[in-house]
Each structure stands twice: as structure tokens, then as C-alpha cells.
A and B are shown apart, each in its own frame.
Chain A
Amino acid sequence: MSKLAELRQLPVLVTAALFLLLFLAGALQFDGFATPRVFFNLLTDNAFLAITAIGMTFVILSGGIDLSVGAVVALAGVLCAVLIEKLQWHPLLVFPTVIFLGTLFGLLMGSLIHFYQLQPFIVTLAGMFFARGLATLISEQSLPIEHSVYNTINNFGVLLPGRAWFGSASIILLLVCLFAIWFLHYTRTGGFIYALGGNRQSAKLMGVPEGRVTLCIYALSSTLAALAGIVYSFYTSSGYALAGVGLELDAIAAVVIGGTLLSGGFGYVHGTLLGVLIMGLIQTWISFHGNLNSWWTKIVIGCLVLIFIALQKFLAQGVSKQAAASST
């Protein structure tokens, strides 16, 4: 019996190796690249994307997709701005409200997907238009947020050696990461998510409560997207209806680069985090370079996604061949 099936771990390892390679290449090329400061800035700059992508990981693991997250990020930001600046709510009341609304939105999409047996692609596409439309309806302009709580949050953090700033966004990201890992690997529902992605029919026959899990998955994704919207509003100190256009696609790309199987059933949260970091690192590399157009990032990411999909296909074929060989 070969170890080929266990090679499914390979994409995550490849991602990790790629990250190290890029980091080393940058370090050799530029002074000041391989510093804690650059690394922690990666976390801060990409926290909202990483949080969204972790939510997307749940969805893709179950064999679904959520296209609404970018729009939910924007809507959450706009809601924060309006509630704080126009309605004068206190931010500490606004955050739970916005997160709760995000959960509701996800529950609604999950219900449509489960009870009416609709395609997640279509339902979340509709959700995307709805959320983006609603955000733009509330305000077409970018709304600045000026509140003492925002200042406090943005100044909160730990200064690490090498002038590396471990700020609130990174802390939230870290907590989300820990939560996601615990949820996926130490709760029953987490196991059910993998089960549904592995084989929906078998999972049902083994007693997996498909409906409850589906609702939970989409609720989680939207909740995390709303949280990402709040984090993004810290980052920009504003709410803007056109923020995060295409963010859902970046999130999907990060999940795929992180080694999660697009058809579901296999993948890890830390893989997704690595995927986000690689995307951020390419951007950093380009900004260090100075002369390159930043859209090169997209081209490189496009190539990476293709390579990873091909790698997964290759591994999946290897696994099925091996299973066929061992059964005869």
C-alpha cells in the first residue's frame, strides 16, 4: 500500500514551501524585506481578506461556494459608518448588530440552498447583488468614520522587536484562525462539513444532518464576512459601498492556493492562511521592486491558481488509480 493517498497533504506543503521561497527570494533581492515588520504588515494588510477566506474555506470544504462575501464586507462597512456617524450609535453596539445581521443574511442564503435545493452559486450570486445594491443605496459616497473607539482600536496592539506592529486586526485574525481550527477539527459539525464535501449522499445515509450543517456553513461564512467588513472599516476608517469588489474571488483563490479541494472534502484553515499570505507577499514584493505594475499580482495569482488546480487533479487521479490497484 503506497502512501499516495496521504500525499493529499502535499498542496499545503507546497504552499508553505512556496511562501518560504518567495520570502527568501525577496530577502536576497531587497534590503529590509526579511524583517518581522514586513511579515506583520502582511497580517495587518490582509486581515480582512484572510478572515473572509477562512469563512470561504468552510463553504468550499462542504462542496459549496459563496460569492456574496465581497459585497457583505462592503455592506458591513457602510452599515458601521451609517450607524456610528449618522445615527450616533456607540461602536460597541454597532459591531454586534452588524455581525448579527451578517449571520441572518447567511442563514437566509443557507435556507434557500437547503430547503429549495437551489444551487449555492446562484443563491449567493443573488446575495452578492442584493448586498452590493443595498450598500450602494445607503450611500454611494465613501463615509468617513471618526470615533474615539476607532482610534483606540487602531492604536491597540503590541510593538514587537524590529518595529513590527502586532495590531488589533492581526489579533482578531489570530482568534478567528484558532476558532476555525477548533471548529473544524474538534466539533462534530466540523467533521460533518468534511463529510458533506466528501460525499453528500453517503454523509446523509450516515446520519449527518445536512440541513443544519448547510445553514451553519453559510451563516458562518457571512458572519465572518461581516466581521471582515468591520476589520476593513478599522483599516480604512471609513465605509464604502464599492469596497471589496472581487474580494470573493480573491478569497476563493486563496482557498485553492491553500490546498483546499474545490470540490470539497479536503483542506485546512492554515492552508488558506498561507494562501492569503502568499498573495500578500507577491504584492509586497512588487511594491519593494517599485517599477512593476501592481496588476502583475493578479497575473501571478492566476498562474498559481491554475498550477494548484492541476496539482490537485494529478493527485486525485493518483489516489483513484491506487484505490483501483489495491482493490484488484
Chain B
Amino acid sequence: MSEVLQLKNISKHFAGVHALAGVNFSLVEGEVHALLGENGAGKSTLIKVMTGAYSLDSGEIRLNAKKIQPGSPADAQAVGISPVYQEVNLLPNLSVAHNLYLGREPKRFGCIQWKKIHRDAANLLKRFKLDIDVTRSLASYSVAIQQLVAIARGVDCSAKVLILDEPTASLDSDEVALLFDILRELKASGMAIIFVTHFLDQVYALCDRITVLRNGKLVGTYACATLPRPQLVAHMLGKELQEIESQPAKTRDQNETLLEVKNLQTREGLQHASFKASKGEALGLAGLLGSGRSELCEALFGLAQRRDGEIKFNGQALHLGKPAEAIKLHFALCPEDRKQEGIIAELSIRENIILALQARNGWWRAMTLQAQKKLANQYIQDLNIVCPHAEKALGELSGGNQQKVILARWLCTQPQLLILDEPTRGIDIGAHAEIIKLIRELCSQGLTLIVASSEIEELLAFSHKVLVMRDRRSHSVVEGEQLNEADLLRAIAH
């Protein structure tokens, strides 16, 4: 089998952060190669480098042993690399047919041949068992159909390499089966396929080889048949199976239940969640990407529309419609996407810290500048926030210190329930340890925490019990004797 695509020593920085550091990757003719890793592992960056959407800092890309330097998606398309991206990335305002042939419309006498486009589009979609009116706008079809159209375009544009980034996220099982049939056909005809997904079932159903990335680094490339599932998960989450030792399980006296969630379902996609959290308990939320961790965190903070089920707080049923109501109940949420949803980069540390407290007090009762400064300085000291002074713009601090400021923002509202979604993502090791220590301390002070994390080690470091999420459902609670890496990995993987 000949090597179609070869990536050597690929590196890419964004504002000083290594998105990719010396990654190697190879793709041979007629294989389906899974590219796996958690959020921020570098999968999307690697794909965007291959397809010319990003330039690379160092390294080289070879297509059929010939060095290529795609400067734009159009360049990559010209040499036969055309990816299908995560979300539907077509144009809803254009017709289905126009989407399929945009940029490569057949022309005669300087005019686009619409009749030919419509005929070809209908034929192309027949392969995907789609019998739809291709002249209508893409927006008039469901997301699943849009996704299939995007895949059809990718397949039709790709000469040798087909890249599918999370293609099955919005497809039902019949459509997935159909897609897999088509992919196997393509594979048999010699097409090399890169398949990015977080559905491990699909990886084992379809793929030949697996490449795992973690934090922008290559973990390894493995043959699918010889890599058991728990080991794959261990590679993805960063703990080698051999190193796993069971840690003494933490035991806690059964305290009064603070929060009880029963069969919670939301419009935003949470399928089912049931669990209890007691006062002074740290509940870990584990699960792979797309398992519903963030959806659950958001639902608890009034950021989702409830479809069914109930949330009980101190024995009282809640109807959380918006975050302001959750804040009134002394709930707090540090969101996953710190840059977009957490910090306000242009405001000072002080202004960021007082934000939630001021919002709860009401904007008419402004805190005096002196009170603000006192509060800010107190938290800068307590949480060991490294900064020259409280008036520095928050955007100029490191990720770890930004995270501490967000924590301070919520701690000064004296929360009863603190929800942390990936609190240690993208921060350095020193700050990482400090935040974990802080979580433990807060627990011992009687605060209830719900902490979502994709790092097993971290979850074990502070959790009293761990709720495992899978397929947007709460799957099981791991606690007591079972709270060790091996059992937790097994619960996440299977």
C-alpha cells in the first residue's frame, strides 16, 4: 500500500500556545484512519493545516511524495483535498445544487450551465439515497440532509484524500449506516479517508488505524484491531494503563442532600440526567467529548430550556429559566470556554471580580470604588492571583490567573453550589495544582461543587464521587471502592 499523505513534524502556534507540536501523521491508500483526541487536542488544527485554512509554522506536507504548501482552501481543493467540517459548513442561502458545485461550476460560453448542475447534483445525491429537489435552498432541509449534502460535496471534490470532521454528529443510525457503506465503497476504490469522531463505536466499526492526539502532541498511531477500548480511552485522556494504581477511596459521611436532579431533559440536547449531590461534596463529571457534561452544567445554571424532569434544591423544586435566577439562589458557573463566556478581557481584574456580585445586588446599588478595591485585593491575595495590581486588564494575564479571577468573581457571591466546567483547561501546571487545592478547600468549608473534567487524574484528585456521562445521559455514579482509574476508565469507555 502506498502512502498518499504524509505530514512530518507539523507545528503551529496561536499567540504563544502550541496548538500542534511536532506532529507526524501518515495516510495510506484505501484506509480509514481515525483521528482522535479530546477538545483542544489539535485535531481540528491539524485538519485545517492540511487543507490550507491555516498556515503551518514548521514541518512539511507531502501528497503522493510531492511536497505541497496549500495556501488556501481553494489550493487544497485544487490538489484534491476537500474536508467536510464539524458543523455543517455549507451555505444555507444557496440551492442544494449550487452548494455541491460552488467554485467548480461547469461553464459554456461564459455562462454557468445550471441544467447540467441540477442533473449532476441529483445524480450525486442518489448515491446517498437522497431524492430531494436540488434547486431549493439548503436552509429548507433538515440538518441531517444538510450534513449528507456536505459529505456528498466532500466525496465529489476529493480525488484521493477525504477528510470527515465529526460527520455523524447530526445523523441518525440509518443515515450513519448508509454513510459507512459509501465510505467502505470509497475505501475499496482506493480513497484514503481521515475520520474524526468522538463516537468510539464508530471508530471500531469502520476504521483501520487510529492516531491519537493530546494537547497538540502526537500520542501514537495504532492498528484498530489490536487496541482495546479502555486503552484507547487511556491514550486519549492521558493516563497509560500500566501506571494505574488504585488510590485510597475517599469516604464521606452521608450528609443532607443539597441538590437532586431527576430525569432532566433539555431542548439543548441533554437526554437524561439523574443524580444527587450532598452538602460539602465534590461531584466529578466525567465523560468523553459530546457526552453531555457541558449541557448538564448549563442546564443547572438556567442556560437551557427544560423539557422534562426536575431539579430540587434544598428539597424545593426549581424552575430555572435564566442565569439571574440561578445566581439569586447562590449558584455559580465557571464556563468551559473561558475566553468567550468567562472573562471580559478589556475590563480590569477588579471589574471582572465584582461583576457577579454587582449583578446580584442590582445595578442601582453600586458598590463604592473602595469596597470594590478591597474585595479585589482580598481575592488577589487569597487565591494568589499573580498580577501587578487590580487595575490590570484581565486579558493580559495568563490563563491560570484568568481562571482564578473567574473563581473569585463567583466566590465573592458566597455560592452554595459551584459548577466548574473544565476549570483547568489550557492553564499551566502550577496554577493547575493550586486550583485543585482550592477545590478541596472549598469542599471542606461546606461548599458543594460540580466539576466537569476530561482528565481522569484530576477527577480522582478531588471528587467524592464521579457521575459518568455518556451519549448525553447520566450513565452511572462511580464512588467508594470503585473510584479508581481503571474502573472509571471502564465506565467512561463502555
Residues of A within 8 A of B (CB): 1, 3-6, 8, 182, 185-188, 191-192, 194-195, 197-199, 201-209, 265-266, 319, 322-323, 326-327
Contacts and interface: CB of A to CB of B under 8 A. Distances in A.
Interface string B94-120: 100010001101010011100000000
A197 B93 contact: yes
A205 B85 contact: yes
A221 to B, nearest CB: 20
Interface stretch (B138-146, B421-429, B438-446): B138-146
Contacts, number: 98
Given A187-B110, A202-B91, A206-B103, A8 B53 contact: no
A202 B89 contact: yes
Contacts of B143: 323, 326-327
B92 interface: yes
B69 interface: no
Interface in B125-156: 136-137, 139-144
Interface stretch (B71-79, B178-186, B204-212, B397-405): B71-79
Nearest to A204: B73
Interface string B252-275: 000000000000000000000000
Given A5-B140, A326-B141, A188 B103 contact: yes
Given A202-B89, A205-B53, A206-B103, A195 B140 contact: no
Contacts of B142: 1, 323, 326-327
Nearest to B111: A186
Judged by DSSP, the binding face of B is loop
Given A186-B112, A191-B112, A207 B170 contact: no
B90 interface: yes
Residue among A191, A195, A199, A206 with max Cβ neighbours from chain B (10 Å): A206
A3 B105 CA distance: 27
A6 B140 contact: yes
A265 B73 CA distance: 21
A198 B111 contact: no
Contacts of B140: 1, 3-6, 319, 322-323
A159 to B, nearest CB: 34
Given A191-B105, A265-B93, A323-B143, A6 B53 contact: no
A28 to B, nearest CB: 38
A326 B140 CA distance: 9
B74 A207 contact: yes
A96 B141 CA distance: 47
A61 B73 CA distance: 23
A206 B111 CA distance: 21
Nearest to A266: B93
Contacts of B76: 207
Given A202-B91, A206-B91, A5 B102 contact: no
Given A205-B85, A327-B170, A198 B110 contact: no
A253 to B, nearest CB: 22
Contacts of B89: 199, 201-202, 205-206
Contact of A327 (B53, B83, B144): B144
Residue among A6, A192, A202 with max Cβ neighbours from chain B (10 Å): A202
Given A5-B140, A319-B139, A207 B73 contact: yes
A194 B93 CA distance: 8
Residue among A8, A198, A208, A209 with max Cβ neighbours from chain B (10 Å): A198
Residue among B93, B112, B136, B141 with max Cβ neighbours from chain A (10 Å): B93
Contacts of B139: 5, 319, 323
Nearest to B101: A191
Contacts of A194: 91, 93-94
B91 A207 contact: no
Nearest to A209: B74
23 contacts: A1-B142, A8-B137, A188-B112, A191-B94, A191-B98, A191-B112, A192-B102, A194-B93, A195-B94, A198-B94, A199-B89, A199-B92, A202-B89, A202-B91, A205-B73, A205-B85, A206-B73, A206-B91, A207-B76, A207-B82, A319-B139, A323-B143, A327-B144
A165 to B, nearest CB: 33
Interface in B48-75: 51, 53, 72-74
B151 to A, nearest CB: 14
Given A209-B72, A323-B142, 4 more contacts: A3-B140, A198-B93, A202-B91, A206-B73
A266 B95 CA distance: 11
A185 B102 CA distance: 12
A319 to B, nearest CB: 6
Interface in B282-341: none
Contact of A5 (B105, B110, B136): B136
Nearest to A327: B143
B401 to A, nearest CB: 30
B83 to A, nearest CB: 8
Nearest to A2: B140
A182 B112 CA distance: 10
Contacts of A204: 53, 73
Contacts of B94: 191, 194-195, 198
B72 A195 contact: no
Residue among B77, B91, B110, B142 with max Cβ neighbours from chain A (10 Å): B91
A5 B73 contact: no
Contacts of B72: 207, 209
A182 B102 CA distance: 17
A163 B180 CA distance: 69
